[in-house]
Amino acid sequence: MLKEIKQYACLGYVFLLLSGLQLLNAQPGNILFVDDDGGDSYQTEYLSRLIKYNLRYSSWSIQMSGIPNSDLLKEYNIVIWETGWGSLNSSRESILQSYLDAGGKLFISGQGIVQYDNSFRNNYLHAKYYSSYCEQTPMKGNDAHPISINLNFEVPLCVNLVSVSTDAISLFYLSGSTTQSLGLCYEGIYKVVLLNFNFGYYYYYVPTQTKDEILYRAMKWLGYYRIKISGTVRDTNGNSMDNVKLKLNGNSLGSVTANNNGYYEFRELQDGYYTIIPEKEGYKFTPREKSLSFLTGEISSQDFVGEKVESVEFKIVNNLFNPRKSQSVKITYDIPTTSKGSLKIYTVNGELIKTLLDGEILAGGYEFLWNGTNDSNEEVASGLYLIHLQGTSLNEIKKIILVK
């Protein structure tokens, strides 16, 4: 029987996992969302925002699959646990306590979580029941904390207010009374964000943008985004190069421009695989690109050296090759200006075999590998082939020989 649905929001894929199988690809930076609302649909208020902000997550329904064990939780950097109107029993608290003792990061929300006190709620959630409040409830965001700054809202139903332990920080509190809180955060060997109300229900009253900000800021504070890549671009004389465009490919896409000191940085990245490619009209760069993976923290000194390209350089490395011996031909070119053009491989009779590039040929230095296959990924026959680089004021042909 299917026991769990695992979903990666950033990829748009849904994986169905069978009971007893370990979760796959649970990398640091991923989120486990635990639906503990007893069959209600409050989870949509969370999941829609995880998708909106392109946050990778897996989902677990307690109604479908039972209570997850602590080992499963420990596979994830962040756990979001929502109880709807409900509370936590001792089994749930024991699992969460084990996760937090291991340095976990927990976002937990529910109307009944702090209806009464016990050791877990006082010592791990850092909250103590204060009172119930059953009037229109104006809540003030703590402007001294990045999660709650400039966020104020009202909840119209009864809420359970808490007093916050001295080692934690109140995020939202009853206007005029900082001792009566509706949310808090704690940071020590573990991190906790507690919203002691049904976050999934109040979408009728709390502005959508406010809820967007709460969840996004909480994920950021808990550490979903925690990677920064930076470096410097200099010329061959060691002088800084400005206005160099650095393109980022991989788990996140984007580009930045080096400043007057040649410095660039990509911030708030998630774990994954990345390639950085520098570009500037009339220059080639060493290295041509940098590939990075399994990153944590700040990755600095990802530097490049730019060299001005005065004329076209078109080279073939290993122009006699045997693809059946895992050999390939390397095609490199350096051009001073960007132009429309193509890089194609032909037989000596003019038959098109392979299109490596067709469109914009960017200024700078680039390389391609050809493994002896055509556009249908079929092996081509042994023989002499022509590589044609063509563009504005650009018409270069090189010969290569394929042997088997």
Phi and psi based region of residue 66 (left: phi greater than 0; alpha: psi -120 to 50; beta: remaining): left
How far, in Å, CA of 111 to CA of 165, rounded? 19
> Do residues 217 and 223 make contact, with C-beta atoms less than 8 angstroms apart?
no
What tokens does 337 get? 């200006």
Side chain identity at residue 268, one-letter code: E
Task: Pick the closest to residue 88 from 68, 114, 107 (CA basis).
Answer: 114
For residues 285 and 305, give the distance between their C-alpha atoms in angstroms, rounded to a whole number: 5
Three-state SS string over 354-380 comes to EEEEEEEECCEEEEEEECCECCCCCEC
Let me know the angle formed at the C-alpha of 193 by 192 and 195, rounded to the nearest 5 degrees.
140
Of the listed ranges 26-40, 117-131, 253-267, the one predicted with least confidence: 26-40
Angle at 48 between CA 42 and CA 53, to 5 degrees: 140
> Beta 394-402 vs 320-321: how paired, if at all?
parallel
Give the list of residues 6+ apart from residue 66 with CB closer than 8 angstroms, or none.
Answer: none
pLDDT tens digits, residue range 142-201?
999 999 999 998 876 677 888 899 999 999 988 767 778 889 999 999 999 999 888 988
**Averaged pLDDT score across all residues of the chain:** 86
Fold of 227-308: Immunoglobulin-like (2.60.40)
Q: Could you report the per-residue pLDDT of 340-366, keeping only the tens digit for each?
A: 899 999 999 999 999 999 998 877 778
**C-alpha distances out from residue 157 to 88, 114, 132, 290, 351, Å:** 21, 16, 10, 54, 75
Q: What pLDDT, on a 0 to 100 scale, did the predictor assign at position 297?
A: 67
pLDDT band per the 50, 70, 90 thresholds, residue 333: confident
Dihedral class, residue 84 (left if φ above 0, else alpha if ψ from -120 to 50, else beta): left
Residue 17: pLDDT above 60?
no
**Amino acid identity of 28?**
P
Check pLDDT > 60 for residue 74.
yes
| Rounded (10°) angle between helices 208-222 and 43-52 | 70
224: closest CA among 370, 98, 351, 77?
Answer: 77
> Is there a common fold for 227-308 and 313-402?
yes
Helices (H), ranges, 53-104: 62-65, 70-73, 90-101
d(CA 179, CA 358): 65
Q: Residues 316, 400: contact at Cβ < 8 Å?
A: yes
Q: What is the DSSP letter of 123?
A: H
Domain borders along the chain are 2-222, 227-308, 313-402
Answer left, alpha or beta for residue 71, where phi above 0 means left and psi between -120 and 50 means alpha. alpha
Name the DSSP class of 381.
P
Least confident window among 108-117, 291-300, 392-401: 291-300
> With b meaning 16 or more CB within 10 Å and e meaning fewer, what string describes 130-149?
beebeeebebbbbeebebbe
Q: Has residue 258 got a pLDDT over 90?
A: yes
- Read off the tokens for 206: 């709390």
The CATH fold of domain 313-402: Immunoglobulin-like (2.60.40)
176 burial level (CB within 10 Å; 0-12, 13-18, 19+): exposed
> Which one has a higher pLDDT value, 28 or 128?
128
CATH node for 2-222: 3.40.50.880
